[in-house]
Amino acid sequence: MQHFSLKGQVRQASNKAAIKAFRRQGLVPCNLYGSGVDNVLFTVDAKELKGLTNTPASYIVDLSLDNGKSFMAVLHELQFHPVTDNCLHVDFLAVAADKPVAIDVPITITGHSIGVRQGGKFIQRSRTLRVSGLMDAVPDELPVDITNLGLDKAIRAADLQYDGINIVSNKGTVVCMVKSTRNSAAAAVEAAE
């Protein structure tokens, strides 16, 4: 799993006026919590945070605070402004290397589907799947081979298996599918004749 380094400044105040003042300075208020960790309030630079939030990749965050403490964490929850799309608040969940971590991992589609070659339309429904496993075992991406995916067939989360990790997304989650089109129906009729 890839790591992302982030520096933060510990904060004490958590009232509305203080939060607005932080945002005017280009800082994003954050919160860190998890098992064995006391709740830590801090701020990070909004520009640095964009490297973590504005990407489809998933990261383990190496968080170093100005009080000398360091933590490993994952993004737990993000809040964005509805108009400007600026990040307003981030919750981090502390993790340990010896305990399983649950994280969303991006899906990478490989191969060329049989159903698409027969005139079907490929649709990808899920861009990520939530997996659980030790940090060393969690991959940067989940490859999904669609070579044998036929017309009107789908690949669900229950159909996928990877070494060292468990998929914790709903087993019925549709990852991708190939739907019939008019062209594929016409080709099937021609083949039947």
Residue 174 CA to its chain's centroid (Å): 16
Confidence of residue 187 (pLDDT cuts 50, 70, 90): low
- The whole-number pLDDT of residue 40 equals 92
pLDDT in tens, 36-62: 888 999 999 999 999 999 888 899 999
In order of start, what are the domains of the chain with their CATH numbers? 3-96 (2.40.240.10), 102-192 (2.170.120.20)
What is d(CA 9, CA 11) in angstroms, rounded to the nearest whole number? 6
What is d(CA 62, CA 70) in angstroms, rounded to the nearest whole number? 7
pLDDT in tens, 61-73: 999 999 999 999 9
- The whole-number pLDDT of residue 65 equals 94
Helix (H, G, I), strand (E, B) or coil at 6: strand
> Which tokens hold the place of 24?
């005017």
Of residues 126, 119, 182, 183, the one with CA closest to residue 154: 126
DSSP conformation class of 55: S
- The whole-number pLDDT of residue 193 equals 63
Of residues 3, 31, 9, 10, the one with CA closest to residue 97: 3
pLDDT in tens, 12-22: 877 889 899 99
Q: Quote the pTM value.
A: 0.81
What is d(CA 91, CA 80) in angstroms, rounded to the nearest whole number? 12
Average pLDDT over residues 118-135: 93
Of residues 176, 177, 183, the one with CA closest to residue 118: 183
- The whole-number pLDDT of residue 136 equals 87
